[in-house]
Chain A
Amino acid sequence: MTGFTPDLLNRCIACGFCLPACPTYALTKDETSSPRGRIDLMRALDEGTLPADDPRVREEASFCLGCRACETVCPAGVQYGDLLEEWRDQQWQGSGRPLVARLLMILVDARWRVRLLGLLRRHARTRGGRPEGPSLMLGCFERALFPKVSRAARRLFPELAAPAAQGCCGALHAHNGDSARGRRMAEELGRRLPGTIVTTSGGCAAHLSSVLGRDRVKELSRYAYERDMPGGAEPSRPAAETPPGGVPAETADRPRVALQDSCHLRNGLDVWREPRAMLERIGTYVELPSAGTCCGAAGTYALVRPRDSRRVLDAKLDEIEAAGVDYVAVVNPGCYRQLDQGLRRRKSRVRAVHLAELLAGERPRRREP
């Protein structure tokens, strides 16, 4: 007896269309490390033909990046991300959960600790007269690691309110074996930030949307785009002429910019045209061949499985360096950290920058090689 929703598990007809979309299948060429293979393992768990402590079952629950690229190519409509959450809910209990994930989850589980994380880092903050507009979500790790992102977002969109006491959205819990707690945290955050919530993190946007509904949650590029296009027209092709409100028009210096999609933003919320459209306005946009595939950050993955994370990242870094760009824009803090560290390690001249920073007019100097 396991905790898989039968309808989710029965959806897969094993056609295998997901194989070429899977980064871990690309690394191994082994069916067992593919979405279809992993669903077989889940079914075996469900039927009791494999025990929960089977070493390979445990390994695959962890080896999967959870990028959900398989969902976008699945003609049968398998909701793999949901299945993975249910799988980890079963496998990652107690000592079954990687230690790093356990520590991080404890860290962000209390609001005061999240607040403390950001306190010394001068993330964006609104005190006293609260702006009328939507709330800016500060994130848990983003406020500590990249406080400049929320500052840039506030400079771009002064109407955003950014109260510090908002807590964490719970995506971390949902992706690391405690989806119930992850859900409750999202609901709590939704109560503390009434109305529309704007976030600079694609991962948080996807998790929050799944709990609070898509209407209440706007990832930054989507927010910028809609703000500029009343009526919420779907961006079809980037329109370069008119700069959006609040975004300075760049004419003289147009940097060459690539993008790393946020997997959950792209694969979960189908938001990928928006950041491209915004980047076209401030520079020459260069599409990386693997822009839409995972960079290996994958939430806690880079910490839990650093070696595999680097294997996924390395091919991408080669691509970035070959593309002759000044910046690679990110829309998620995990990707930010991953690409920033990767590019530094290589002493690359290319800089990783959050989309909000670029839109706010920041142009970090290229590193000297």
Chain B
Amino acid sequence: MPAKTTATGEPLDAATLRELRAIVGAEHVRHADGDVTPYARDATPLFRARPGAVVHPASTEEVAAVLRLAGARGVPVVPRGAGSNLCSATVPLQGGIVLVLTRLDRILEISAEELLAVCQPGVTSAALADAAAAHGLLYAPDPGSRSVATIGGTVATCAGGLRGLKYGVTRNYVLGLEAVLGTGEVIRTGGRLWKDVAGYDLTRLLTGSEGTLGVITEVTLALLPAPETAGNGLAYFPTLADAGRAVTRVIAAGIVPATLEFLDARCVDAVEQHARLGLRRDAGALLIFGDDGEPAAVAQRLDRMAELCRDTGAIEVSVAGHAAESEALLAARRCTLPALSRLGSITILEDVGVPRPRIAEMVGHIEDIAQRHDVTIATFGHAGDGNLHPTCVIDKGDDAAGERAHDAFGEIFRTAMRLGGTITGEHGVGAAKLPYLTERLGAAQIDLQRRIKAAFDPAGILNPGKAGS
């Protein structure tokens, strides 16, 4: 049965609201215009749709009761954490309920013995990492928005981050989940075991499902012993493609470092304006390379990477003096996107991925495409894992530039796919990438995804209008 479409902004009927209040308490159901307006968007530009109500549950039971009610009434439900995603995954395209999980914000357990953490979905990624660090442990996934993004949200979008090359992404750390299906049934997948092949791997299926299959209510995450030390270095290059070639050489030399981030001149300029670290603004590109582990090994690998950068034509190479300097560098890198917004009022960020050896080639294509479509595109990204963030900055109201940007990005996606890459490396599909999903996956897989979605969510109430609908 297809979901009943609630026109966006249209309040839910009185009976539904009454029952929602009975489930979570009156103060946790908001439906007035002013209450719901900020929930019409997440961190993605250009997508907006007002929900009929915003509900803040405080337990798995409340989530399940809300979903049973919504299923019976055919009301769409869009789960949401902090709303920091960049693919409009949490914009309620068909109205209905935005189910906010930020009140479920407890860390339930950190076990140094078992190297794992159990937490509720509303804990921020940074809070979990800090709690793990207090036990001498590392929570490796490190998305740029870690201070804001919730664990539930990072699992639902399978967030990546700055350490993807060496440590992988969120899915490599999710051991088990508790989730509520569209029917209101509560399932627990996986658990505390590293080895467990009993049944289909629904943990992985739910990870990255963007709220279309279930609402995540508890997460068990793998932790690692914290590395003894971490260090970073900087290398400036004439062009971004040069930096890309240096990355290929580093990896070909058998080094798998924790960090290989690159930024073009525009990005460096914006970051420097915000963070004032004394970065050079006259080079064409900046590569931040870094690693963690035993001090001697880290120092040796940093030296080796510095050498490879010089050999590839770096203008200047330096290694950060101490940990605080290193951390400031990465903190500045994490806010590249918002810092870019200083260049114009609308910042459209993209997230393509290509096989590592094709990075320099892809960068060249992006520059060429930007030029042909007459748009300003700044590029930064996780060079080590082939994940690029070409970002277009335009002015609000300049519709012609918006059109050109749209066309340029269409071409960038197709180019990435032609090189064996993808339309999104770590941000997700949401509504933003949906038009390109069939091209990426093929009709048979899209069809299979629909059937999978129908099994988890027969009433079609979970995040309708996105993947699987």
Chain B neighbourhood of A49, CB < 8 A: 37
A18 nearest CB neighbor, chain B only: B148
B451 beta carbon closer than 8 Å to chain A: no
Q: Are B34 and A55 in contact (CB under 8 A)?
A: yes
Q: What is the bound-complex CA distance between A221 and B76, given in angstroms?
A: 56
The CA-CA distance from A75 to B338 in the complex, in Å, is 5
Q: How far is the CB of B24 from chain A (nearest CB, A)?
A: 13
A76 touches B339 (CB 8 A): yes
Tell me whether B114 is interfacial, beta carbon within 8 Å.
no
Provide the residues of chain A in CB contact with B273, threshold 8 Å.
77
Q: Which 8 A-B pairs have the closest CB atoms?
A: A56-B34, A37-B38, A75-B338, A75-B335, A29-B102, A40-B38, A10-B345, A16-B84
Check if B71 is an interface residue, CB within 8 A of chain A.
Answer: no
Q: Are B33 and A16 in contact (CB under 8 A)?
A: no
14 A-B contacts, Cβ less than 8 Å apart? A13-B45, A14-B43, A15-B338, A17-B145, A19-B84, A20-B124, A20-B126, A32-B54, A44-B37, A56-B32, A75-B339, A75-B341, A76-B338, A77-B273
> Bound complex: CA of A320 vs CA of B41, how far in Å?
39
A interface bracket (residues with beta carbon within 8 Å of B): 20 to 34
A31 at the interface (CB under 8 A from B): yes
Q: A30-B100, A32-B38, A56-B32 are in contact. List 4 more A-B contacts (CB 8 A).
A: A16-B82, A41-B34, A75-B335, A76-B339
Write out the residue numbers on chain A whose beta carbons fall within 8 Å of the beta carbon of B39: 31-32
The residue in chain A whose Cβ has the minimal distance to the Cβ of B86 is A15
Whether A36 touches B342, Cβ cut-off 8 Å, given contacts A14-B43, A17-B147, A17-B148, is: no
Task: Please measure, in the bound complex, the distance between the C-alpha atom of A29 and the C-alpha atom of B124, giving whole angstroms.
Answer: 12
In the complex, whether B141 has a CB less than 8 A from a CB of chain A is no
Q: A16-B148, A75-B274, A76-B339 are in contact. Are A32 and B37 (CB under 8 A)?
A: yes
Is A77 within 8 A of B342, CB to CB? yes
Given the interface contacts A29-B102, A29-B105, A76-B339, does A15 sit within 8 Å of B84 by beta carbon? yes
Give the number of residue pairs across the A-B interface with Cβ within 8 Å.
106
Given contacts A13-B338, A15-B145, contact A29 B122 (CB under 8 A): yes
B35 touches A (CB below 8 Å): yes
Residues of B within 8 A of A41 (CB): 34, 37-38
Q: A15 contacts which of B32, B337, B342, B396 (Cβ < 8 Å)?
A: B337
Q: Is B347 an interface residue (CB 8 A)?
A: yes
Q: Nearest-CB distance from A84 to chain B (Å)?
A: 16
Interface size class of B (residues with CB under 8 A): 35 or more
Q: Name which of A11, A32, A38, A73 has the most chain B CB atoms within 10 A of its CB.
A: A32
Q: CA A76 – CA B145 in complex, angstroms?
A: 14
Residues of A within 8 A of B382 (CB): none
Instruction: Determine the distance from Cα of A30 to Cα of B102 in the docked complex, in whole angstroms.
Output: 8
B95 interface hit (Cβ, 8 Å):
no
B83 A76 Cβ-Cβ under 8 A: no
| A30 contact set on B, CB distance < 8 A | 30, 54, 56, 100, 102
B50 closest partner in A (C-beta): A49
Expressed in whole angstroms, the Cα–Cα distance for A76 and B341 within the complex equals 6
Taking a contact as CB atoms under 8 Å apart, the answer to whether A16 and B347 are in contact is no
Which chain A positions have C-beta within 8 A of B33?
50, 54, 56
Contacts of A10 in B (CB 8 A): 345, 396
Question: A16's closest neighbor in chain B, by CB?
Answer: B84
Whether the pair A13, B347 counts as a contact (CB closer than 8 A) is yes
Q: Are B341 and A11 in contact (CB under 8 A)?
A: yes
CA distance A17 to B146 in the complex (A): 9
Are A57 and B34 in touch, CB under 8 angstroms?
yes
A212 in the interface (beta carbon within 8 A): no
A56 and B43 within 8 A (CB): no
| A41 to B338 CA separation, bound complex (whole angstroms) | 20
Question: With a CB–CB cut-off of 8 A, which chain A residues contact B341?
Answer: 11, 13, 75-76
Q: Which of B43, B100, B126, B396 contacts A16 (CB 8 A)?
A: B43
A20 to B123, CA, bound (A): 11
Q: Does A74 contact B (CB under 8 A)?
A: yes
| Interface flag for B281 (CB, 8 Å) | no
- Residues of chain B within 8 A (CB-CB) of A44 are 34, 37
Residues of chain A with a CB closer than 8 A to B30's CB = 30, 32
**Interface members, chain B 23-62 (any A CB < 8 Å):** 30, 32-43, 45, 54, 56
Min distance, Cβ A109 to any Cβ of chain B, angstroms: 32
Whether A29 lies near B100 (C-beta < 8 A) is: yes
CA distance A44 to B34 in the complex (A): 9
* A40: min CB distance to chain B, Å: 4
